[in-house]
Structure 1
Amino acid sequence: MLLQTNRLLIREITIHDTGHIHELHSLPETDEFNTLGIPDSFQTTENIINEWLTSQTVTPQTSYVFYIELIETKQFIGLIALKMGKPKFKNAEVWYKIHVNHWQKGYTTEALQRLISWGFNELNMHRIEAGCAVDNIASSRVMEKVGMMPEGRKRKNLPLKGTWSDSFIYAILDDDFYNSEHKPTT
């Protein structure tokens, strides 16, 4: 699976991406609001990636983890994923993790817009949702920029660095997407 925007190439991960993904997962800045935690070894990252790779072989595929790179330089900038729920509900959850060197450049918004477009146009989703820690203001802004609406707050559901954090829940419906200025043109 390959998705593209004007600046980004978004493709499914491979085992060859392990080094870049391990570096991303090991950064304290990207770990601040991540429930995964910093891996204790390269092997731990390999194990996570092997789970993701196994999910790519299931038919029908319901879980997608994408490697994001800049088209111009082929530089790795992060990960974005979509996991489908039960078929009857036609829903999915998205998440993303971007390398600190590429924050505040619009890449996350661009990648999420493309993933949402793919989810509605190709996977025929009805609802796509995401969540973030209440203190993760940057992530909240990204979700709002792509047309996701805040739906509520879950209390103390995220284990972050030994403490429990509340999270905000965001979602966009197919009706919202098709009647929105947030649809990407690419």
Structure 2
Amino acid sequence: MPMLKPDYPIVTGRLVLRPFRPEDLDALNSFQSRADVARYLYWGPRSRAESAAALAKRVHSSTVSDEGQFLAVAVELTETGQLIGDLTLEYVSAEHRQGEIGFVFHPDHHGRGLALEAAGELLRLGFEELGLHRIVGRCDGRNQASSALMERLGMRREAHLRENEMVKGVWTDELVYAVLEDEWRLARS
């Protein structure tokens, strides 16, 4: 079974991707506590204690060796060292070589291509280092920013599930995107 143990830090043009650390609590809570961030997520705005519990899981998720585990990656701005994003890559199936990505970014840093830069590295980790065949991403059907990001990543919309989940007391649509390893490699060449 493959093991994903990224060679941290991963440095891109404007970002540093690294494992989460306990001292990330204030920065993580600065965006997890916001209603506009939690709007399309399964959880509501998080208290400091709730962010601390989420962070504790992330601190211990810097590698992946078994299906069902997830890789948690902190995204910080190179220029300031500020934590601005939270990436996840779940190892869904070893047999079918499937994974799922997720991303949450501080709204102060939206619209600059930073999420695209970071999530592109997450796809690279999934395909090149974990050996995945297919990576999916899902979002609330109202979340235009996330669906646009997945399209810019080269993922195709495979499903639009109408009112398939009750989230925070409201029936919501779910969009499902995916990209295959061959498609990802072709797009990069």
TM norm structure 2: 0.88
Residue 51 of structure 1 and its aligned partner are, at CA, apart by 2.5
Q: How many residues are matched?
A: 181
Unaligned runs of 5+ in 2: 1-5
Query: Paired residue for 1:47, among 46, 53, 56?
Result: 53
Q: Does 1:168 align with 2:175?
A: yes
In the alignment, what sits opposite 2:109? 102
5 Å-filtered alignment, 1:36-185, equals 36-39=43-46, 41-56=47-62, 59-60=65-66, 62-180=69-187, 183=188
Cα deviations by residue, 1:47-98 (Å, 9 ceiling, x for unpaired): 1222233444775583111111111221221111101112111111110001
Distance 1:65 1:58, change over 3 A: closer
Residue 158 of structure 1 and its aligned partner are, at CA, apart by 4.3
5 Å-filtered alignment, 1:7-18, equals 7-18=14-25
Asked whether the 8 Å contact 1:133–1:158 carries over to 2, the reply is: no
Asked whether the 8 Å contact 1:32–1:160 carries over to 2, the reply is: no
| 2:59 counterpart letter in structure 1 | L
Rounded Cα–Cα distance in structure 2 between residues aligned with 1:167 and 1:54: 29
Q: Identity, % of aligned pairs? A: 29
Output the aligned Cα RMSD: 1.9
Moved more, 157-166 or 43-52: 157-166
Rounded Cα–Cα distance in structure 2 between residues aligned with 1:164 and 1:131: 16
Cα deviations by residue, 1:83-127 (Å, 9 ceiling, x for unpaired): 111211111111000101000000011111111012111111101
In the alignment, what sits opposite 2:3? none
| 2:92 counterpart letter in structure 1 | G
Unaligned runs of 5+ in 1: none
Partner of 1:30, secondary structure, is helix
Moved more, 61-70 or 15-24: 61-70
Asked whether the 8 Å contact 2:24–2:83 carries over to 1, the reply is: no
Moved more, 44-53 or 21-30: 44-53
Partner of 1:88, secondary structure, is coil
Rounded Cα–Cα distance in structure 2 between residues aligned with 1:96 and 1:15: 19
